[in-house]
Structure 1
Amino acid sequence: MPESVTTVPLGEGAVAVVVTESGRPGRTYVNLHDNENTAVEAARAILARHGGRMVELRHTGERNITFTRGDTTYTFDPNRMFTPAGIEATLRRFGAFSPAAAAEVERLAEAVLERAGLDTMSLVVALHNNTDANYSAASYLPGGSEDGNAAEVFLVEGSDPDDFFFVTERS
């Protein structure tokens, strides 16, 4: 399947925004973590079978994105780069924060939205893979590592809590 690559400057480095097109209409899939390659391979199989496109960030092969600006190194989780509050929180969580670094992260987020056309989509499927006992829907329950980051959590009794979906609107 054809890929188009846009290189977005970030600090003294860059991040590649890669769009893979199946050539047929279908859903849009997004992979923001460069170490979640199982999700990317699964999406390629879905694209081949059902059509659609995938937007992928490629940088260092790591989950988080790290860049240098001057003498300071910044790290952030790309899941959190789409709001000013998320940008500030993730930069602070991983160490350094500055308004200039936040502006660079915001420019990357805007480039991803623009290049991929994500801001015009009614449905986007975010791709992730995780491991047992590390991260699950239960992480969002009271006392969990993501407590407070979800308006509601619903777990089906007897289901595997690390196989789950996020939704942004109630049905």
Structure 2
Amino acid sequence: MVLLISILVTFTTGLKAQQPVVLNVIDSLTIRPVHPPVFEGITTDTTHLLLSDWPVTLVKYSYGEPKINFIAIHDDEDTGVKAAFEYIRFSGGSIIDCQYGGIRNFKFMYNNEEFQTDPNSIYTPAGIARGLEKYNWAAPEVVNMLANTAKEILKLYNPETPPYIFTLHNNGDGGFGIHDYLKGYPLENFADSLYINFEMDADDLILVTDVNLFNRLKKENVNVVLQSNNAPDDGSLSYYAMQQRIPYVNVEVQHGHLYEHLRLIEIAAKALEETILPL
């Protein structure tokens, strides 16, 4: 059975009521998986969102015991998805894969205007506005649509059970790395502390919001960043998690570094189980 839900969002600006924004959700629809290699026994649970004229599909792949749960936000970052499949094939768990056309940004039309934003900037009101203003302006109707999209993603992931958020990201060669968090570099205000293994590729790293996780990961001699409690509000899942006091892990590697992504996932998952999950 397919359940179609229309979420009606109304808002006002001053005294003038605006047109309602409708976000359509189709829950529990069976579809053919998109990302190989899907293996026998894996199950899917799919939610379809409509962001104005832009379809966003959330596919939750699950296998075995419900252990570590991952989420991949950007649809152009498939190395993390493939690494997660390998992890859950042997250890069990799940991953939510956000699918919206194989590109980085949400890009859609509303009232004959094009809007776009990074889907990792929609988890706080300030982040939504800043993300939209990089490309156009923060139209109130569009702000509401993105806020509801974030709510649906969080509802499906459910970071209360288990009590953490574990994301997977990829980057380009030399385009982003742990050095960006050093003093004098673009992301210095986002970092409280760093541990750098200079024998690793600088593009491969782990970012966390919990100091116990950070200290545990340092013992593994891997690149790791502890996010600052005073980090700017960029609307990211890491900022949302910090704001909500939810432990957050991001394992990020260069595109194509599949085995390194899997290695860091295994290290981070073990650290998470030892420091957060027993509490």
TM-score, reference length from structure 2: 0.57
Contact 2:64–2:91 (CA<8 Å) still a contact in 1? no
In the alignment, structure 1 segments of 5+ residues that lack a partner are none
Quick one: which amino acid aligns to residue 132 of structure 2?
Answer: L
Aligned to 1:95: 136
What SS class does the counterpart of residue 148 from structure 1 fall into?
Answer: helix
Q: How many matched pairs?
A: 171
Shift of 1:125: 1.7
- From the superposition, tell whether residues 104 and 42 of structure 1 become closer, same or farther in structure 2 (CA, over 3 Å): same
Identity %: 27
Aligned to 1:85: 126
Shift of 1:14: 2.1
Shift of 1:84: 1.2
Could you report, residue by residue, the CA deviation over 1:68-117 in whole angstroms, capped at 9, with x for unpaired residues?
A: 11111111111121111211111112333212211111100000011222
1: distance between equivalents of 2:125 and 2:166? 22
Aligned to 2:166: 125
Deviates more, 1:107-116 or 1:84-93: 84-93
What SS class does the counterpart of residue 67 from structure 2 fall into?
Answer: coil
Could you report, residue by residue, the CA deviation over 1:15-65 in whole angstroms, capped at 9, with x for unpaired residues?
A: 111111113221011100001111111111111111000011100110111
- Structure number with the bigger relative contact order (C-alpha 8 A, sep ≥ 6) is 1
Shift of 1:158: 4.0
Q: Pick the structure with greater CA Rg.
A: 2
Deviates more, 1:118-127 or 1:64-73: 118-127
How large is the RMSD of aligned CA atoms in angstroms? 1.7
Aligned to 1:56: 97
The structure carrying a bigger strand percent of its residues is 2
Deviates more, 1:46-55 or 1:94-103: 94-103
Deviates more, 1:98-107 or 1:136-145: 136-145
In the alignment, structure 2 segments of 5+ residues that lack a partner are 1-41, 213-279
Quick one: which amino acid aligns to residue 54 of structure 1?
Answer: I
What SS class does the counterpart of residue 204 from structure 2 fall into?
Answer: coil
1: distance between equivalents of 2:82 and 2:203? 19
Aligned to 1:34: 75
2: distance between equivalents of 1:97 and 1:140? 28
What SS class does the counterpart of residue 96 from structure 1 fall into?
Answer: coil
